Chains A and B, each alone.
Chain A
Amino acid sequence: DAGVTQSPTHLIKTRGQQVTLRCSPKSGHDTVSWYQQALGQGPQFIFQYYEEEERQRGNFPDRFSGHQFPNYSSELNVNALLLGDSALYLCASSFPGGASGNTIYFGEGSWLTVV
């Protein structure tokens, strides 16, 4: 049973560029959340997708957007990259209707460096 998978694992972008990160949830999971983890900090919630719609959003600007596909996979897009966007981006999946309820599983993350 594959867990949460993310791609790419590492990437370097220039200020002002745009980036797309991808996530496939754990098998059977229908809810995907994205987190940003800056160096030395805990993860911060960006947003969550369920049934192809953004259901919750954290305190992040509109430059951060996302999408969920019918197969539950998801993308995180960041426009007009800033140096401060350099971080580990974590995808998490869950199946709220399941026996494990709110158990949330994380992927290995995508390291984004903005130069």
Chain B
Amino acid sequence: AQSVTQPDIHITVSEGASLELRCNYSYGATPYLFWYVQSPGQGLQLLLKYFSGDTLVQGIKGFEAEFKRSQSSFNLRKPSVHWSDAAEYFCAVGGRGSQGNLIFGKGTKLSVKP
């Protein structure tokens, strides 16, 4: 079955600390992987995506993610968290032929302590 697992429902980090959000996927074909961020009451903003090539991808707002095929993982990282990063983060997977049919995880809520 195709699925995305985000093991951490809620994470709290101190401002300035590093962050890693975990994502594991199960997908039958070559995966296209995405991280989106959602602020309260808002839509989804694309942080970064992986289609092919370099397995370390850079995104907006200083985020990066690493694709590890052997572990079926696509973890999101940021070296120094800012208070404005507090939001819900969603990992999603699709395929070349899916064209917009994405499977999302349940999300990880990030809280930032001052």
Nearest Cβ in chain B — how far from A68, in angstroms? Answer: 12
Q: A94 touching B43 by the CB < 8 A rule? A: no
B13 interfacial contact with A, CB 8 Å: no
Which of A14-22, A40-48, A76-84 lies at the binding interface?
Answer: A40-48
B98 interfacial contact with A, CB 8 Å: yes
A71 interfacial contact with B, CB 8 Å: no
Nearest Cβ in chain A — how far from B33, in angstroms? Answer: 10
A91-107 with Cβ < 8 A to chain B: 92-94, 96, 101-107
Which of B14-22, B64-72, B77-85, B101-109 lies at the binding interface?
Answer: B101-109
Q: Which residues of B contact A73 (CB under 8 A)?
A: none
Interface flags, B14-35, vs A, CB<8A=1, else 0: 0000000000000000001010
Q: Which residues of A contact B96 (CB under 8 A)?
A: 101-102
A58 interfacial contact with B, CB 8 Å: yes
Nearest Cβ in chain B — how far from A31, in angstroms? Answer: 6
Known A42-B106, A42-B107: A56·B98 in contact at CB below 8 Å: yes
Measured between alpha carbons, how far is A106 from B39 in the docked complex, in Å? 13
Chain B: interface size category: 20 to 34
Q: A105 touching B46 by the CB < 8 A rule? A: yes
A72 interfacial contact with B, CB 8 Å: no
Name the one of B43, B45, B105 contacting A42, with C-beta atoms under 8 angstroms.
Answer: B105
Interface flags, A44-69, vs B, CB<8A=1, else 0: 11001010000110100000000000
Measured between alpha carbons, how far is A105 from B105 in the docked complex, in Å? 17
Known A42-B90, A42-B105, A42-B107: A33·B100 in contact at CB below 8 Å: yes
A-B contact pairs, 26 of them (CB 8 A): A4-B43, A40-B106, A41-B106, A41-B107, A43-B44, A43-B102, A43-B104, A44-B104, A45-B101, A48-B101, A55-B99, A56-B99, A56-B100, A96-B100, A102-B51, A102-B96, A102-B99, A102-B100, A104-B34, A104-B102, A105-B46, A106-B36, A106-B44, A106-B46, A107-B43, A109-B43
A interface list, Cβ under 8 A from B? 4, 31-33, 40-45, 48, 50, 55-56, 58, 90, 92-94, 96, 101-109, 111
